[in-house]
């Protein structure tokens, strides 16, 4: 009897701890977690079938608002994903590249330059921006290495168990409920249907003059911040060592006198990149070739709306296929079915945003249940550029 009692007590105790553990995991995944478009984008990357993506784009909002994977697939035939996060740090970019090497082995990695072009390294210490990316990475040596190297000891557990930091988020209703539902919907579907693309339906109007025409002749350089320069050189050395096919780009921006120094730092970054034998394309200097219209194609100074994004996607995707000779791997039937849906949904999103902007409305559009539900009213047929 004593033995039976011991077994019963052991089973009950084990069940209790198992229940607590499962409950904590569910809370951390769906309730006590800072779910937003960044987390949906990063989590969606790890749902991609291993070694199934031809190109991965890494960077901050400059790239996830300017490149449309669904459009690139529909017009140019290659698959891609935006492993990007709002104001990602340069350390985040390095970790993202290592995570891509660990999980996907794409034919090309495209890195947007923004993380290395700040006038100082303050963004490297911005806790909110760091969490937006690193919270959503699964446990791996790369994540552990970043935490061990950069996170103060009293904060390390927050990166392994985000519910420690976000235990009060359940009070944010209804937005929190909407994002919880979006997170659950993503997990049930098993893939991010926009492949990381996010935009705002708005046409930017400014009294501040654009310098975009002037910068095509700009040859001047400004030094990078020393910490950002070191991180860039570390990334270039790692990419060289791993024999990666990496391309660096600078997405188009509405350049003003206030942001002009970034153009010169971009020129300096281009020199470093080319010294290591990699390509660097400052697309700010090619706005005319792309067809960018400063009065129509941005939703603020740093980001293009869908009008600009579709032009930039066509220009960059065509360049990757024709100039960079990017290899496109064959797909099976289920992958093709999914990507056909991605292309159709991207077209619906474009028409949805076009409708909003035509009516003078402003709204974010991303991988969430509210946006995807609204898209059902729009056609997914191919888009002919205006």
316 found inside a domain = yes
Q: Is residue 123 part of a domain?
A: yes
- Residues contacting 73, CB < 8 A, separation 6+: 79, 80, 339, 342, 343
Q: Look-up: residue for tokens 């654009």?
A: 210
Position 20 confidence tier, pLDDT thresholds 50, 70, 90: very low
Flag whether pLDDT at 288 surpasses 70. Answer: yes
Classify 105 in phi/psi space as left (phi over 0), alpha (psi -120 to 50) or beta.
Answer: left
Q: Is residue 6 part of a domain?
A: no
The answer to the question of residue 164 being in a domain is no
Q: Is residue 33 part of a domain?
A: no
Task: Name residue, tokens 């946006």.
Answer: 371
Number of structural domains in the chain: 1
For the ranges 73-77, 168-172, 290-294, 323-327, the lowest mean pLDDT is seen at 168-172
Print the domain residue range for 348: 51-129+196-377
Task: Provide long-range contacts, Cβ within 8 A and 24+ apart, for 148-157.
Answer: 150/91
Full-prediction pTM beyond 0.85? yes
Question: Residue 241: inside a domain, yes or no?
Answer: yes
Evaluate whether residue 168 is within a structural domain.
no
The owner of tokens 């082995």 is: 105
The CATH number of the domain where 258 resides is what? 3.40.50.1110
The reply to whether 165 falls in a domain is no
| 280 within 8 A of 273, measured Cβ to Cβ | yes
pLDDT in tens, 84-131: 999 999 999 999 999 999 999 999 999 999 999 999 999 999 998 998
CB atoms within 10 A of CB 156: 14
Tallying the residues shown for the chain, one arrives at 386
């Amino acid at each position: 009897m004593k033995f039976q009692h011991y077994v019963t007590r052991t089973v009950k105790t084990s069940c209790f701890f198992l229940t607590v553990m499962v409950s904590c995991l569910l809370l951390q995944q769906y309730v006590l977690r800072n779910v937003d478009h960044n987390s949906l984008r990063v989590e969606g990357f790890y749902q991609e079938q291993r070694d199934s993506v031809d190109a991965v784009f890494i960077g901050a909002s400059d790239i996830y608002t300017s490149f449309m994977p669904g459009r690139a697939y529909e017009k140019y035939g290659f698959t891609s994903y935006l492993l990007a996060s709002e104001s990602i740090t340069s350390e985040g970019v390095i970790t993202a590249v290592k995570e891509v090497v660990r999980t996907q082995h794409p034919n090309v990695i495209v890195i947007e330059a923004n993380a290395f072009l700040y006038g100082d390294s303050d963004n490297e210490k911005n806790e909110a921006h760091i969490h937006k990316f690193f919270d959503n990475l699964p446990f791996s040596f790369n994540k552990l290495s970043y935490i061990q190297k950069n996170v103060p000891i009293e904060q390390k557990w927050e990166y392994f168990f985000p519910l420690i930091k976000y235990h009060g988020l359940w009070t944010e209703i209804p937005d929190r409920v909407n994002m919880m539902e979006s997170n659950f919907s993503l997990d049930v579907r098993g893939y991010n249907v926009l492949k990381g693309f996010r935009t705002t339906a708005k046409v930017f109007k400014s009294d501040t003059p654009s310098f975009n025409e002037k910068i095509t002749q700009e040859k001047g350089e400004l030094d990078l911040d020393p910490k950002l320069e070191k991180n860039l050189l570390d990334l270039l050395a790692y990419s060289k060592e791993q024999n990666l096919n990496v391309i660096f780009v600078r997405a188009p921006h509405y350049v003003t006198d206030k942001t002009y120094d970034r153009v010169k730092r971009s020129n300096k970054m281009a020199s470093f990149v080319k010294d290591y034998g990699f390509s660097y394309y400052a697309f700010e200097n090619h706005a005319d070739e792309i067809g960018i219209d400063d009065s129509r194609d941005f939703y603020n100074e740093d980001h293009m709306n869908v009008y600009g994004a579709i032009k930039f996607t066509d220009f960059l995707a065509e360049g990757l296929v024709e100039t960079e000779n990017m290899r496109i791997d064959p797909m099976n039937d289920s992958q093709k079915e999914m990507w056909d849906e991605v292309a159709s949904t991207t077209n619906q999103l474009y028409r949805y945003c076009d409708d909003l902007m035509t009516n003078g409305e402003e709204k974010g559009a991303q991988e969430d249940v509210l946006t995807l539900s609204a898209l059902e009213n729009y056609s997914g047929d191919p888009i002919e550029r205006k």
